[in-house]
Amino acid sequence: MVNKIREVTGTIGGEIMTNQSKKFTKIEAEQLNIVDKEGKVKLSLFNEDNIPPALMDGMDILPGHRQDDPLSGLMFFNAEGDECGGLIYGNEKNDDGSYQSFASLTFDQYKQDQVVQMRYVDDSGKRSYGFGLFDRPNQNLRKVIERENEIKNSNLTDEEKASAINQLYEGNVERAFMGKSPNGDVSVSLMDNKGNKRIRMVVDENDVPKIEFLDEEGNVTYKLPPE
Protein backbone atom coordinates (compact mmCIF):
# COMPACT_ATOMS: atom_id res chain seq x y z
CA MET A 1 0.00 0.00 0.00
CA VAL A 2 1.31 3.44 -0.91
CA ASN A 3 0.92 6.06 1.81
CA LYS A 4 0.66 9.74 0.94
CA ILE A 5 1.58 12.38 3.52
CA ARG A 6 0.62 16.02 2.99
CA GLU A 7 1.53 18.68 5.52
CA VAL A 8 2.22 22.39 5.60
CA THR A 9 5.41 21.99 7.60
CA GLY A 10 7.03 19.05 9.31
CA THR A 11 9.94 16.65 9.31
CA ILE A 12 10.44 13.05 8.27
CA GLY A 13 13.78 11.44 8.95
CA GLY A 14 15.30 14.85 9.52
CA GLU A 15 14.17 16.12 6.12
CA ILE A 16 12.21 19.38 6.28
CA MET A 17 9.04 19.35 4.19
CA THR A 18 7.17 22.54 3.33
CA ASN A 19 3.95 22.82 1.30
CA GLN A 20 4.51 19.62 -0.62
CA SER A 21 3.39 16.02 -0.87
CA LYS A 22 5.55 12.93 -0.88
CA LYS A 23 4.68 9.29 -1.40
CA PHE A 24 6.13 6.43 0.63
CA THR A 25 5.71 2.69 0.30
CA LYS A 26 6.64 2.18 3.95
CA ILE A 27 7.34 4.32 7.01
CA GLU A 28 8.88 2.94 10.19
CA ALA A 29 8.84 5.06 13.33
CA GLU A 30 8.77 4.52 17.08
CA GLN A 31 6.49 7.54 17.46
CA LEU A 32 4.53 9.60 14.97
CA ASN A 33 2.86 12.87 15.97
CA ILE A 34 0.22 14.63 13.89
CA VAL A 35 0.39 18.36 14.62
CA ASP A 36 -1.54 21.50 13.69
CA LYS A 37 0.02 24.38 11.75
CA GLU A 38 1.41 25.79 15.01
CA GLY A 39 3.11 22.52 15.91
CA LYS A 40 0.68 21.49 18.64
CA VAL A 41 0.21 17.72 18.84
CA LYS A 42 -3.29 16.57 17.91
CA LEU A 43 -2.71 12.84 17.70
CA SER A 44 0.19 10.58 18.66
CA LEU A 45 0.99 7.05 17.48
CA PHE A 46 3.47 5.42 19.81
CA ASN A 47 5.19 2.21 20.87
CA GLU A 48 5.77 1.08 24.46
CA ASP A 49 9.01 3.06 24.74
CA ASN A 50 7.36 6.35 23.76
CA ILE A 51 4.12 6.48 25.76
CA PRO A 52 2.91 10.11 25.91
CA PRO A 53 2.41 11.70 29.34
CA ALA A 54 -1.10 12.43 30.65
CA LEU A 55 -1.24 16.10 29.72
CA MET A 56 -3.78 18.65 30.97
CA ASP A 57 -3.39 22.41 31.15
CA GLY A 58 0.13 21.96 29.81
CA MET A 59 1.16 19.73 32.72
CA ASP A 60 1.83 16.03 33.21
CA ILE A 61 -0.90 15.36 35.78
CA LEU A 62 0.17 11.76 36.44
CA PRO A 63 3.97 11.58 36.30
CA GLY A 64 5.10 8.05 35.47
CA HIS A 65 1.59 6.91 34.57
CA ARG A 66 1.67 4.01 32.06
CA GLN A 67 5.41 4.48 31.49
CA ASP A 68 6.29 0.92 32.55
CA ASP A 69 3.21 -0.73 31.01
CA PRO A 70 3.59 -3.04 28.00
CA LEU A 71 1.30 -1.02 25.75
CA SER A 72 1.29 0.79 22.44
CA GLY A 73 -1.44 2.83 20.85
CA LEU A 74 -2.84 6.10 19.66
CA MET A 75 -3.59 9.14 21.84
CA PHE A 76 -5.96 12.01 21.11
CA PHE A 77 -5.29 15.64 22.14
CA ASN A 78 -7.77 18.51 22.01
CA ALA A 79 -7.23 22.10 20.84
CA GLU A 80 -5.73 23.02 24.24
CA GLY A 81 -3.22 20.17 24.20
CA ASP A 82 -5.09 18.06 26.77
CA GLU A 83 -5.22 14.31 26.37
CA CYS A 84 -8.85 13.54 25.55
CA GLY A 85 -8.93 9.80 24.92
CA GLY A 86 -7.25 7.20 22.82
CA LEU A 87 -6.59 3.60 21.94
CA ILE A 88 -4.16 1.46 23.94
CA TYR A 89 -3.39 -2.24 23.67
CA GLY A 90 -0.77 -4.73 24.77
CA ASN A 91 0.02 -8.05 26.39
CA GLU A 92 2.46 -9.82 28.67
CA LYS A 93 3.41 -13.51 28.65
CA ASN A 94 4.88 -15.16 31.75
CA ASP A 95 7.48 -17.91 32.00
CA ASP A 96 4.83 -20.41 33.09
CA GLY A 97 2.84 -19.81 29.89
CA SER A 98 0.16 -17.66 31.48
CA TYR A 99 -0.59 -14.30 29.87
CA GLN A 100 -2.47 -11.04 30.15
CA SER A 101 -3.83 -9.20 27.13
CA PHE A 102 -5.88 -6.03 26.95
CA ALA A 103 -7.21 -3.26 24.73
CA SER A 104 -9.12 -0.07 25.47
CA LEU A 105 -10.65 2.70 23.36
CA THR A 106 -11.77 5.75 25.35
CA PHE A 107 -13.23 9.23 24.88
CA ASP A 108 -12.77 11.73 27.71
CA GLN A 109 -14.98 14.43 29.13
CA TYR A 110 -13.51 17.95 28.77
CA LYS A 111 -10.86 18.43 31.49
CA GLN A 112 -11.82 15.05 32.96
CA ASP A 113 -11.49 11.30 32.58
CA GLN A 114 -13.18 8.88 30.20
CA VAL A 115 -16.95 8.91 29.75
CA VAL A 116 -17.07 6.26 27.01
CA GLN A 117 -14.94 3.11 26.93
CA MET A 118 -14.75 -0.03 24.83
CA ARG A 119 -12.53 -2.55 26.61
CA TYR A 120 -11.17 -6.09 26.45
CA VAL A 121 -9.26 -8.00 29.15
CA ASP A 122 -7.92 -11.55 28.85
CA ASP A 123 -6.21 -13.22 31.82
CA SER A 124 -4.99 -16.59 30.50
CA GLY A 125 -8.35 -17.35 28.90
CA LYS A 126 -10.56 -15.63 31.48
CA ARG A 127 -12.00 -12.99 29.20
CA SER A 128 -14.25 -10.01 29.72
CA TYR A 129 -15.11 -7.36 27.20
CA GLY A 130 -17.72 -4.76 26.54
CA PHE A 131 -18.80 -1.14 26.39
CA GLY A 132 -19.12 1.23 29.36
CA LEU A 133 -20.54 4.70 30.03
CA PHE A 134 -19.38 6.87 32.93
CA ASP A 135 -20.38 10.01 34.83
CA ARG A 136 -17.67 12.52 35.72
CA PRO A 137 -18.02 15.60 37.95
CA ASN A 138 -17.68 19.12 36.59
CA GLN A 139 -14.24 19.49 38.11
CA ASN A 140 -10.86 19.98 36.50
CA LEU A 141 -9.08 16.64 36.90
CA ARG A 142 -5.68 18.31 37.26
CA LYS A 143 -6.91 20.28 40.27
CA VAL A 144 -8.52 17.17 41.76
CA ILE A 145 -5.24 15.25 41.52
CA GLU A 146 -3.32 18.16 43.04
CA ARG A 147 -5.76 18.21 45.96
CA GLU A 148 -5.43 14.43 46.37
CA ASN A 149 -1.64 14.78 46.66
CA GLU A 150 -2.09 17.51 49.27
CA ILE A 151 -4.33 15.21 51.28
CA LYS A 152 -1.86 12.32 51.04
CA ASN A 153 0.94 14.56 52.30
CA SER A 154 -1.13 16.08 55.12
CA ASN A 155 -1.09 15.25 58.84
CA LEU A 156 -4.49 13.57 58.70
CA THR A 157 -4.84 9.99 59.87
CA ASP A 158 -4.99 7.24 57.26
CA GLU A 159 -8.71 6.90 57.85
CA GLU A 160 -9.26 10.65 57.45
CA LYS A 161 -7.17 10.70 54.28
CA ALA A 162 -9.17 7.84 52.77
CA SER A 163 -12.45 9.58 53.63
CA ALA A 164 -11.30 12.91 52.17
CA ILE A 165 -10.07 11.29 48.95
CA ASN A 166 -13.33 9.35 48.56
CA GLN A 167 -15.26 12.61 48.87
CA LEU A 168 -12.94 14.23 46.36
CA TYR A 169 -13.82 11.62 43.73
CA GLU A 170 -17.57 11.55 44.33
CA GLY A 171 -19.48 11.55 41.06
CA ASN A 172 -16.99 9.29 39.26
CA VAL A 173 -19.20 6.29 38.57
CA GLU A 174 -19.95 3.83 35.81
CA ARG A 175 -23.58 4.24 34.73
CA ALA A 176 -23.97 1.50 32.13
CA PHE A 177 -22.15 -1.57 30.87
CA MET A 178 -22.90 -4.04 28.12
CA GLY A 179 -20.59 -6.98 27.66
CA LYS A 180 -19.47 -10.49 28.50
CA SER A 181 -18.02 -11.64 31.83
CA PRO A 182 -15.38 -14.35 32.40
CA ASN A 183 -18.08 -16.81 33.54
CA GLY A 184 -19.83 -16.58 30.17
CA ASP A 185 -22.72 -14.28 31.07
CA VAL A 186 -23.68 -11.67 28.50
CA SER A 187 -25.35 -8.78 30.29
CA VAL A 188 -26.54 -5.20 30.29
CA SER A 189 -26.26 -3.38 33.63
CA LEU A 190 -27.71 0.05 34.42
CA MET A 191 -26.46 1.89 37.50
CA ASP A 192 -27.78 4.82 39.54
CA ASN A 193 -25.85 8.05 40.12
CA LYS A 194 -23.94 6.40 42.98
CA GLY A 195 -22.78 3.53 40.81
CA ASN A 196 -25.13 0.94 42.33
CA LYS A 197 -26.53 -1.63 39.91
CA ARG A 198 -30.29 -1.13 39.62
CA ILE A 199 -31.25 -3.10 36.49
CA ARG A 200 -29.47 -6.18 35.23
CA MET A 201 -30.40 -8.07 32.04
CA VAL A 202 -28.53 -11.34 31.55
CA VAL A 203 -28.29 -14.28 29.22
CA ASP A 204 -26.21 -16.69 31.29
CA GLU A 205 -23.71 -19.33 30.23
CA ASN A 206 -26.57 -21.83 29.87
CA ASP A 207 -28.50 -19.47 27.56
CA VAL A 208 -31.08 -18.72 30.26
CA PRO A 209 -32.34 -15.10 30.07
CA LYS A 210 -33.42 -13.05 33.09
CA ILE A 211 -34.05 -9.48 34.16
CA GLU A 212 -33.46 -8.25 37.72
CA PHE A 213 -34.38 -5.00 39.46
CA LEU A 214 -32.26 -4.13 42.51
CA ASP A 215 -32.37 -1.67 45.39
CA GLU A 216 -29.46 0.52 46.48
CA GLU A 217 -28.05 -2.30 48.61
CA GLY A 218 -27.97 -4.72 45.70
CA ASN A 219 -30.96 -6.76 46.82
CA VAL A 220 -33.22 -8.10 44.06
CA THR A 221 -36.68 -6.55 44.46
CA TYR A 222 -38.25 -8.01 41.30
CA LYS A 223 -37.13 -10.41 38.60
CA LEU A 224 -38.30 -11.97 35.37
CA PRO A 225 -38.97 -14.81 35.16
CA PRO A 226 -40.12 -14.91 38.80
CA GLU A 227 -38.85 -17.77 40.91
Q: What is the 3-state secondary structure (H, E, C) of 42-61?
A: EEEEECCCCCCCCEECCEEC
Instruction: Band the pLDDT of 18: cuts 50, 70, 90.
Output: low
Instruction: Answer yes or no: is pLDDT of 1 > 50.
Output: no
The pLDDT of 93-103, averaged and rounded, is 96
Per the domain annotation, does 225 fall within a domain? yes
What phi, psi does 199 have (nearest 5°)? Answer: -135, 135
What is the distance between the alpha carbons of residues 35 and 212, in angstroms, rounded to a whole number?
49
Instruction: Answer yes or no: is pLDDT of 15 > 80.
Output: no
Domain membership of residue 185 as a residue range: 173-227
pLDDT at 3: 44
Q: What is the DSSP letter of 101?
A: E
The pLDDT of 54-82, averaged and rounded, is 95
Number of domains the chain contains:
1
Cβ density class 180-217: b for 16+ within 10 Å, e for less: bbeeebbbbbbbeeeeebbebebeeeeeeebebebeee
Nearest to 47 by CA among 76, 72, 74: 72
Instruction: Answer yes or no: is pLDDT of 22 > 90.
Output: no
Lowest mean pLDDT among 14-18, 114-118, 198-202: 14-18
SS3 15: strand
Those residues whose C-beta lies under 8 Å from the C-beta of residue 64, and which sit 6 or more positions away, are none
pLDDT at 8: 39
pLDDT at 227: 73
What phi, psi does 29 have (nearest 5°)? Answer: -155, 150
Residue-wise pLDDT tens digits, 129-174: 999 999 999 999 999 999 999 999 999 999 999 999 999 999 999 9
pLDDT at 16: 54
